Amino acid sequence: MENSKFFSEIHGNFGFGCMRLPMDDGKVDYAAFTKMADAFLDAGFNYFDTAHGYVGGQSETAIGDCVAARYDRSKFILTNKLTSPYFNKQEDIRPFFLQQLTWCKVEYFDFYLMHAQDKNNYQKFKRCKAYETAYAFKQEGLIKHFASPSTTRRTCWI
């Protein structure tokens, strides 16, 4: 199974969530974040998680500058997310996704999640064909791993 080999490559059981990063005068403190990321990777961990809304939109560029620009892509796993406020129709998703790759300075995401879904915005993700669009990115090699809605457990609000 493709994913079982991948999961054996994940070192440790700890991820570096980039929802809150060290700040200096309203901007991510790159020196502090770089030191944290280096310590995390040196300790044998390799999983980073970001989303466009984290740290006022600065999380992705911080990942790009402090991790991706400094480490070979094979040395870390990166998850990013599609969040409801950043698209209104299917045609909005591709340009946003490609911009996320640019901000993160990577050619692909290991995982790309449909973020913060609830009973209020799940229909928007369906109407805008977000799942099908993400699957197309997987087929293009822009996302390494994909779990379709039919293979993931549904929650009570669906």
Whether 125 is in a domain gets the answer yes
Residue 27's domain spans which residues?
Answer: 2-139
Tens digit of each residue's pLDDT (9 = 90 or more) over 36-75:
999 999 999 999 999 999 999 999 999 999 999 999 999 9
Whether 155 is in a domain gets the answer no
Whether 89 is in a domain gets the answer yes
Q: Domain containing 92 — which CATH number?
A: 3.20.20.100
Tens digit of each residue's pLDDT (9 = 90 or more) over 20-38:
999 999 999 999 999 999 9
Whether 18 is in a domain gets the answer yes
Whether 156 is in a domain gets the answer no
- Based on the structure, what is the number of domains in the chain? 1
Which CB contacts under 8 angstroms, 24+ apart, belong to 152-155?
A: none
* pTM assigned to the model: 0.85
pLDDT value, residue 19: 95
Whether 12 is in a domain gets the answer yes
